[in-house]
A and B are shown apart, each in its own frame.
Chain A
Amino acid sequence: MSAALRSLIAMSLIGGAALHICPANGTRQVLKLLITAILIAAILTPLRELDYDLLGLEEAKLGSAEARIIQESRQRENSLKEQAFIHNCEGYIRSHAEELGIHAENIRLSVVRTGEARWEPYSVSLEISGNTAATEELCQLICTELGIPAERQVWTLNE
């Protein structure tokens, strides 16, 4: 038990005992007032020990807490957006390849960042099978629609 609790218990027991044994006259009134003052002081002591600077310190942390959340959310959002953009581009290539009768798999697209939360496709590698006669058309499509020139496209033919 903490020392404060022990001293408070001791004060209340001693005060109670003193009032109990004190005869009912003027002395009892004085004793009552004295014990009241001591107990009120004991009860209010925690307020004196409160850290009043705490609010100021916590307020100072407000700005950095806000900035941290915004920065972290941007970082994670950008990471996810990049993944989603790459996924969309790969899906675009796959769907157009299917339209041309080409079976495209293991499509790996790389992107380059061009601004805040903006990327552009840089290079692509893919494995194809099926209607290989249409590869030129697909290559041209990737070049015009996604901006990846032929020299940055790596094609692997699956037998």
Chain B
Amino acid sequence: MKQLACVLLLIPLIFSKAHAQDLTPNAMDVFDVEIMERGLSEEEAKISGKPGDGVYDMGAALTRLWRGVFEKFKTEMHAGLGFAASLLALVFLCAFACAVCTVDQIRDAIEICGASAAAMLLTGSVNSLVSQTVEAIYRLSDYSKAALPVLYTAAAASGAVSSSAVRYAAASLALDVMMSLSQKTVIPLIYAYLALTLGASVFPNPLLEAMQQLSNWAAKTVLKASTIVFTACLSISSLVSTGVDAAALKTTRTVISASLPVVGGMLSDASAAVLAAAGVVRSCAGAFGLMAVSAMCAGPIVLLSVKSFLFKAVAEAADSVQNARLKKLFSGLGNAIGLLLGLLGCSAIMLFLSFAAGMKAVTA
């Protein structure tokens, strides 16, 4: 990323013609790069910065991102520790009650009550995490619809006409289908996993545990398969279309220069300047898009990671006092949050790959 930032900073120095430098700010306006700034919240816009006039400071944006992630982590950890303390109190209360009780059936009943109480407390908060994840995915999808056309239009204007159009079509098709598939199958599977976790923790039996493993496996498989298929779609479309553009560029320039004298030379120079300016816009827009997506995902990813970690930690505490029901419940909830994290991560990866494919183009 630092290398990309250095390249972007050095690009204006490569061009000796003044109009190449003058054209870039115009190109940023003509390609409506400012559209990529819309749809970002205030905090995300602060982290991403501004695309500028063809020079995007990726290094500074990365620094702001890490700082934002660290601040969010601190906040979520502080809030989460209080929440984990209340869960630990429940665990130790159940352990104490079981320890003083001598009758096995009453001990069993205490554990069932403890697990039910924890399930009732946690269902609401887990449901809210699922809603936040789905909302984050919808925001990523909406952002891709606004930002990808800007990037791919600039890429097409920089010389990669055929390949950009094909890649854009492949990326937008695959993104829509995969995000829809992920939400319509993975979210219900996560809900199924949650429900079976609750059932298996209150009434442990091999059947419910087997169903729990099945839904966990199914959710992970759908996520992996959708990411692999998306990557394959994008790669194949890139391979098929890239060769066409390079030959077309050389032919066009030769025709313009040969047929008209001074004016023809100026037209040819203008074409070269536009190709260069569009290339700068493409790189700038692509880098900005990557940072914007990172900023949009950072908050939810930190939240889900902290919650998953805390649930797993409380599960280990429950294991230490030999409360198998609570251990299963908290461990299962931690896994469910891990699946949500995987879902959000896969959606973000698909968007990253779409931006990266747009930044890779046939050079003039």
**A residues bordering B, Cβ < 8 Å?**
1-2, 4-5, 8-9, 11-13, 15-17, 19-20, 32, 35-36, 39-40, 42-43, 45-47, 49-51, 54-55, 58-59, 61-63, 65-70, 72-73, 76-77, 79-81, 83-85, 87-89, 91-92, 117-121, 145-147
Contact = CB atoms under 8 A, between A and B. Distances in A.
23 contacts: A8-B192, A8-B195, A16-B200, A39-B208, A40-B211, A43-B211, A46-B184, A50-B184, A58-B173, A69-B149, A69-B156, A69-B168, A73-B152, A73-B164, A80-B23, A81-B270, A87-B19, A88-B269, A91-B18, A92-B262, A117-B267, A120-B263, A146-B262
Nearest to B170: A62
Q: Is the interface of B mostly helix, strand, loop or mixed?
A: helix
Given A13-B199, A50-B184, A76-B31, A36 B157 contact: no
Interface in B253-270: 256, 261-263, 266-267, 269-270
B194 A5 contact: yes
Contact of A4 (B184, B188, B196, B274): B188
Given A5-B191, A66-B165, A73-B157, A80 B30 contact: yes
Contacts of B30: 76, 79-80
A76 B153 contact: yes
A43 B208 contact: no
Residue in B26, B166, B199, B205 with the greatest tally of chain A CB atoms within 10 Å:
B199
A67 to B, nearest CB: 8
B195 A9 contact: yes
A16 B177 contact: no
Contact of B156 (A16, A45, A51, A70): A70
B4 interface: no
Contacts of B154: 73
Contacts, number: 183
B304 interface: no
Interface in B198-229: 198-200, 202-205, 207-208, 211, 214-215, 218
Contacts of A80: 23, 26-27, 30, 157, 274, 277-278
A13 B215 CA distance: 17
B71 interface: no
Q: Is the interface of A mostly helix, strand, loop or mixed?
A: helix
A77 B196 contact: no
Interface string B157-183: 100010011101100110011001100
A96 B135 CA distance: 61
Nearest to B194: A5
